[in-house]
Structure 1
């Protein structure tokens, strides 16, 4: 059985890895904002490269494990805190905790549900389905993305999920700094500001992708 400190450290490390992956995923998906003709072939070539690279495949296994461990660890911590009468990672240092810090379990659940839908719509179809090929012979993930993002209900789910992700990241990065022992007057303000900027940038950037395609796709 893992101790509470070990669980917090596991939550911290898996969360930081997932945050780093989000940044890489975000930078790659920025290609969706290119002119449609260019985005079509370039995004598919990028996806083909990722799916065929052995190093990326190894990283993807770490990604899957991190998602599962982070979710299970969060569930266990949430249940233990409820059992003891506390809130999720309740941190009260002279002031009341923010609402999102008290509801990390709910935010995490919303994100997990979104991930299941997201994986089913894109990852599963790309890996195990029969998507068409583009002019370069690559699986046409771009067409699949456009088709899904043209559905208004999915765009709404996506935007709401990114809002949940934003608050989840803000608290998560702040908590990770504490877990790593970086909660010091010299560092805390910098980490808090950097965490907020990163969380807002990533979440708004991802949210704009389906919105952009919804209003521009023909």
Structure 2
């Protein structure tokens, strides 16, 4: 089997979803870590944001991030549709449901909610930052104040929190599933991967949730 045949086959698509999923899992660690600088202070956070937006290595990695997101979405949708078409019905469907969690069967829905949230999130923070960057290359952009402005709206905060619930359940299944697809499905490794995935998911979700809540309730100035 050639590489083209492999990645065109169902297993190849699942492999791509798994690899890009792990890449995005790692990205979330960096993203949460950088954004957590809001708790250090406005100046430090804005300095970090300025460095990230002006560093050429980061910009190149940014392109890789968008490619990873695109591949993850497209291949995941293809796999989801193929699985839906092949899914058993009637008694067999009921039996299959007993052997799987509701969130593992709802990855398509959860992923769609996350995609809609991602579009909104980028419109709030990414687009404005890039426009400011290209208009005034060396001018500081107060991303901290932008976050304060966005998260002063209670409706937006609620949408963010609901989206994070979707992300939580998506990661709860996706973390273990990604490593399982890559062949790390063994009685010695699976419990450890599941435990790490659960811990990772809880920490990442709480970190991201704390940011809009901190601005809305004025826990930080």
Q: TM-score normalised to the size of structure 1?
A: 0.89
Q: Is 2:34 the partner of 1:33?
A: no
Following superposition of structure 1 onto structure 2, how do residues 97-108 of structure 1 map, counting pairs within 5 Å? 97-108=100-111
- CA displacement at 1:85 relative to structure 2: 2.7
DSSP 3-state at the match of 2:184: coil
After superposition, the C-alpha distances for 1:91-122 in whole angstroms (9 at most, x for unaligned) are: x9995200000000000000000000000110
Match of 2:128 among 111, 118, 125: 125
After superposition, the C-alpha distances for 1:131-170 in whole angstroms (9 at most, x for unaligned) are: xx9xx95111111111001110110011111111111111
Q: Which residue of 2 aligns with 1:172?
A: 174
Q: Which residue of 2 aligns with 1:184?
A: 186
Q: Which residue of 2 aligns with 1:83?
A: 85
Gaps in structure 1 of 5+ consecutive residues: none
- CA displacement at 1:208 relative to structure 2: 1.1
Q: Which residue of 1 aligns with 2:198?
A: 196
After superposition, the C-alpha distances for 1:174-207 in whole angstroms (9 at most, x for unaligned) are: 1112111111111000000000100111011101
Distance of 1:93 and 1:78 partners within structure 2: 16
Q: Which residue of 2 aligns with 1:54?
A: 56
Whether the 8 Å contact between 2:42 and 2:144 is mirrored in structure 1 is yes
DSSP 3-state at the match of 1:204: helix
Whether the 8 Å contact between 2:14 and 2:76 is mirrored in structure 1 is no
Q: Which residue of 2 aligns with 1:22?
A: 28
Distance of 1:64 and 1:57 partners within structure 2: 11
DSSP 3-state at the match of 2:217: helix
Distance of 1:157 and 1:55 partners within structure 2: 32
Aligned Cα root-mean-square deviation (Å): 2.5
Q: TM-score normalised to the size of structure 2?
A: 0.88
Match of 2:213 among 203, 211, 214: 211
Whether the 8 Å contact between 2:28 and 2:204 is mirrored in structure 1 is yes
Q: 1:77 to 1:138 in 2, by over 3 A?
A: same
Name the one with the larger helix percent. 2
Whether the 8 Å contact between 2:132 and 2:141 is mirrored in structure 1 is no
Q: Which residue of 2 aligns with 1:154?
A: 156
DSSP 3-state at the match of 2:173: helix
Gaps in structure 2 of 5+ consecutive residues: none
